[in-house]
A = this chain, B = another copy of it.
């Protein structure tokens, strides 16, 4: 089983090499610190599974790299191995064609089994990640409308209700109504908390 590592931390790459060296059925055939380097290396070495971090430091991130890797002819499986377990990270990774999503904090044995499962094309999720997905499924009504996202973005820019109303050509009353709905869906009570909650879930992105 040929593996390729993509992570901007030399320490993490060394750790994976060391850990995987103990498994007789796995071999690390290449590694990369950034997206561009990864694409070149993967095209050249043709691994079976790519272990991909999402935060790569330089311009092109892990999600975009995953998308391009999966667009290669006869692409390898891509197993995301990252630090965080936000909904948006997971969704975007899956959308980009990732085969699985594991956390760096997971025990090594879970990592080994995950890699073998990914090589067989099976979807593999860390226990904590799977738990989050289940909870999302069971709690509908948390999806924000397009209008509500518009409000959130102006909110994040620090605009007051009057300013938001002016920019969207509606009245303050309407803005307040939207805000109440947003607070409810995000489970917060203040505008500031709404902004941070939205950023964490990658509903909006700070400029």
A151-174 residues with Cβ-Cβ distance < 8 A to B are 155-158, 160
A9 in contact with B105 (CB, 8 Å): yes
Task: Verify if A127 is at the interface (C-beta below 8 Å from B).
Answer: no
For A158, list chain B residues within 8 Å (CB).
Answer: 188-190, 192-194, 196-197
| Copies of this protein, total | 2
Interface size on A, residues (CB 8 A): 41
Is A107 on the interface with B (CB-CB < 8 A)? yes
Q: In the bound complex, what is the Cα–Cα distance between A19 and B14 (angstroms)?
A: 7
Q: In the complex, which residues of chain B have a beta carbon less than 8 angstroms from the beta carbon of A188?
A: 158
Q: Which of A64-72, A118-126, A133-141, A199-207 contacts B (4 or more CB under 8 A)?
A: A199-207
Contacts of A106 in B (CB 8 A): 10
Q: How distant is A91 from chain B, measured CB to nearest CB, in Å?
A: 18
* 11 residue pairs bridging A and B, Cβ less than 8 Å apart: A9-B83, A10-B107, A11-B15, A14-B18, A55-B83, A158-B189, A158-B190, A192-B192, A199-B199, A199-B206, A200-B206
